[in-house]
Structure 1
Amino acid sequence: MAGFSCSLQYDQYQTILLGLMMMMTALSLGSFSCVCRAQDPSQLSLDYYSKTCPDAQKVVRTEMECAVKENPRNAAAILRLHFHDCFVQGCDGSILLDDTATLKGEKTASQNANSLIGFDLVDRIKNQLESQCPGTVSCADLLAIAARDATLLLGGPYWDVPVGRKDAKSTSLELADADIPTPDQGLIAQMTKFLEKGLSVTDLVALVGAHTVGMARCASFRGRIYGGFELTSGLGPASEALLGKLRETCPASGGDGNVAAMDYVTPYLFDNAFYESLVAGDGLLGSDQELYSSLVGFETADLVKTYASDAIAFFEQFSESMVKMGNITNPEAGEVRKMCRFVNT
């Protein structure tokens, strides 16, 4: 593919990717391979760019392959961006907009500030798409495709991504503060926020499984390790060692920006180890542990146990839930932005 900025060409990278995927598959699921088909979206389609930009997904994949090779955290960053985007006004790229004199973006919302990264990577992918197919592929679709590739590149499942989203021309800082779940939120509040988006309790448990990759800031889990960890964990030797390490990373005061893996077993592998930690009572975030330990979490606890023991079930449901979340669209008329950080002029 001529014109790609990535240092590795697409065909060259396939050999490296194949070896990586074989290694991760062997580690996580043996011979299992999950290819989950898209659901039947009402407004989106799988062939939306088949004539206008047939190589759109290949462009995104090439840049994501290089970015994840540079730093596996880039995969988690894109997944988080897509999630935070879809929970405010639908999946419309509004999370990507910078503040301007006439527009207040969502990046300074309480759950976004100091938490979201990956905007430069989005810019890089968008530049490549614009060079191939100017004014064609939306930033919202870019995020949806890249989130799928991010999952796949760390050993997770593949799913077909319906496309055809439009980019928002407005944002809502108020909705970003209100609608995005918080790290210390109780189970009822989490379920309410998901149900308001048309997502079920099953979707909640499956989508939170994205925490099997990525990091959390000390400010997000300090309350958990200084006032809740002992209440859920059996505090065997392994858990005692984990708690000690977490407290070294995150002191009782200060160090808010220090980070720890939400999956301390395989932090750069998309697998079901995250759920195993919840069953052990060792979840890093209070909101995550609530899925298993809450007194009202009968259904969620059963799902956690299922996914902890059955990675295939987790992969299949995660794929379905990602498509379902990705189909939340902004009902207002949108556009295809030339730059993801700014509306078109």
Structure 2
Amino acid sequence: MTVTLDPPVTTEAPQRDARDVVRRARQAPIRHRRRLVAGLVLAVVGAFAARVLLGDYTVTIPDFVRILGGEQIPGATYIVMESKLPRAVLSVLVGLAFGIGGAIFQTTLRNPLASPDIVGVSLGASAAAVSAIALAGWTGWSVSLAAVVGAVGVALAVRMVAGDHGGFRLVLAGIGLAAAMQSVIQYVFTRVDEWDVQLVLRWLTGSVNGVDWPTIGLLAVVLGALLPATAWAARSLEVTELGDDTARGLGLGRGRTDLLMLLGVLLVAVGVAAAGPVAFVAFLSGPIARALNGGRTTLLAAGLVGAVIVLAGDHAGAYAFADLNLPVGVVTGAFGAPFLLWLLARGPLNGHRGRRAA
């Protein structure tokens, strides 16, 4: 008589299957984020190419390469190197700064309304710059520095008024200070000399036109320092989204959040210092990037979305209307206002379903 024994029962196979399921679940969002970033990079490249090569004066790709190589092509070289290319490069840099800075505000404070446009940071920079031009007679780098100081000052004031509370209390404090800054701008505008009206209007609307290469180079250097620091500080961003109490329970100190907020303020401030307060870019970029990423926050995607918005807005402002060249801030403001109304009408504004704002 032959007796057959069943193979011993082991839990190794079920455990291996469970690990595979968990691994795939973790890798799926990462793969999606990579595909999203790659797609947005292609969108930025396409918008950049359209801004430089197309328009009233078209430039072929071979001619563009020859111009970058230093060859002088009558008419084309001046248009590309002094108008189209600097505007496109500045649009990318400013879009990155506004997009990442706005996403930091909205994510850290867990409220899509808590963007630099709404809480007064951009207006603080504009008020300081306009005051420096009209009242002190400053020009050049000193005006840009005043804009940075103004943005940081308003951010600190909002933080002090709101105290340890976030959410709507900080937004309300920011709206109040934004109204005060708007009053300052309106008063100072009445004191502006007629020769400075165009310069002041640039600070009120936001424009990438007429910026020289040294300014663009300085902005690139500053962003080269701020962006790596932001990437390091943002490693704990997902924990910060859970709220202050949960973050402290997980060992995340308040200092990391405050550092990330400061970096967000500086990113927005240098963007305003270079191009003025381009309306609603910081406000739009974060929610669009979250929607494209399945509701998850990604600062890089927000920055790329901001770059696409500024590039497309500048191109539309320059060529969408015959005999009319609109600043990019006018175009983004026209599209951003309906988005704000839609966001207000859609329901809870704390950015997390089922979670109340602090």
Q: Same fold (TM over 0.5)?
A: no
Q: Which has the higher contact order (CA 8 A, sep 6+)?
A: 2
